[in-house]
């Protein structure tokens, strides 16, 4: 552990009027607004689930709980690796940071792969598309938007991993990694809600 780690307080910033690093404050404000965005998408899905039009395919026949549970587990583990990455940069341990980022990217890619497989199955095997039913429209819009967030996160993580090899990333830049971590954990908590509200409720 470097000596600077003993003096840097990564949770408070005396140079700002709020005592919170500006980048962190910005990220929390963005995440609060994104809560409302996903809240509306989840509500829309649940509302149309209340009154499905006649002839709608039961969602239970379409969903694969095994695949979704695996995706959930993968995303939870990616959150753990992201937390370890933030912990590593706060201690100035670049080697550990790189491994943690790489594992997070890998888990993110596995999650995206599962989602692509799931979408493919729904469209080509179960004939559920974004245009042929309300379930398809709300489901693909919601999970697709979440998937897009994961993809953006993977690109951001990859950029940070590459940047860490330039030699310009150090312990004092921990806030950049932490902001990215906040975004990634947010993607995880949105999935926690989607997993229950969209998938598990169909099995009751």
Partner 1 sequence: MSAPAEPVVPSPSGPSDHNVVEQGKFWIYIQIAMLLAVITGLELVTVYLPFLKWLLVTVLVVLSTVKFMFVIFYFMHLRWDKAFCTILFFIGLVLAGGTMWALLQLFGADASKPLSSAMAEAPAALVQAA
Site residues for partner 1 per CB under 8 A: 5-9, 11-12, 14-20, 22, 24-25, 28-29, 31-36, 38-40, 42-44, 46-47, 50-54, 65, 69, 72-73, 76-77, 79-80, 82-84, 86-87, 90-91, 178, 181-182, 185-186, 188-189, 192-193, 195-196, 200-201, 203-204
Instruction: Find the farthest-apart pair of alpha carbons in the chain and give their distance in angstroms, rounded.
Output: 67
In 3D, which of 89, 95, 81 has the Cα closest to residue 4?
89
Q: Which is nearer to partner 1, 41 or 154 (CB)?
A: 41
Shortest CB 63 distance to partner 1, Å: 11
* Least CB distance to partner 1 at residue 165 (A): 24
Q: Which is nearer to partner 1, 69 or 159 (CB)?
A: 69
Closer to partner 1 by Cβ: residue 8 or 162:
8
Give the Cα-Cα-Cα angle 28, 166, 188 (nearest 5 degrees): 30
The residue among 92, 90, 107, 106 whose CA lies nearest residue 179 is 90
Question: Which residues contact residue 189 at a Cβ distance below 8 angstroms, ignoring those fewer than 6 apart?
Answer: none
Helices (H), 2-133: 22-50, 59-62, 65-90, 94-120
Please identify, using beta-carbon distances, which residue of 43 and 124 lies nearer to partner 1. Answer: 43
Minimal distance in Å, beta carbon 124 to partner 1? Answer: 27
Phi, psi of 127 (to 5 degrees): 55, 40
Is 82:154 a contact under the CB 8 Å cutoff?
Answer: no
- In angstroms and rounded to an integer, the radius of gyration of the C-alpha atoms of the chain is 20
**Closest distance of CB 14 from partner 1, Å:** 5
Q: Name which of 151 and 189 has its Cβ closer to partner 1.
A: 189
In the complex, the smallest distance separating the C-beta of residue 26 from partner 1, rounded to whole angstroms, is 10
């Amino acid at each position: 552990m470097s000596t600077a780690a003993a003096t840097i307080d990564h949770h408070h910033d005396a140079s700002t009027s709020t005592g919170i690093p500006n980048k962190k404050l910005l990220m929390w404000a963005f995440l609060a607004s994104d809560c409302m965005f996903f809240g509306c998408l989840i509500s829309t899905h649940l509302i149309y689930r209340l009154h499905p039009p006649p002839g709608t395919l039961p969602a239970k026949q379409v969903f694969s709980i095994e695949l979704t549970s695996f995706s959930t587990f993968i995303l939870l583990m990616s959150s753990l690796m992201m937390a370890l990455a933030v912990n590593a940069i706060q201690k100035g341990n670049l080697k550990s940071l790189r491994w943690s980022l790489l594992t997070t990217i890998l888990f993110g890619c596995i999650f995206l792969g599962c989602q692509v497989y799931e979408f493919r199955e729904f469209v080509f095997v179960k004939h559920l598309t974004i245009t042929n039913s309300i379930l398809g429209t709300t489901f693909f819009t919601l999970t697709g938007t979440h998937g897009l967030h994961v993809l953006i996160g993977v690109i951001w993580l990859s950029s940070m991993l590459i940047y860490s090899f330039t030699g310009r990333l150090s312990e004092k830049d921990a806030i950049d990694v932490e902001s990215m971590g906040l975004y990634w954990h947010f993607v995880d908590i949105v999935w926690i809600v989607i997993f229950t509200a969209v998938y598990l409720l169909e099995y009751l």
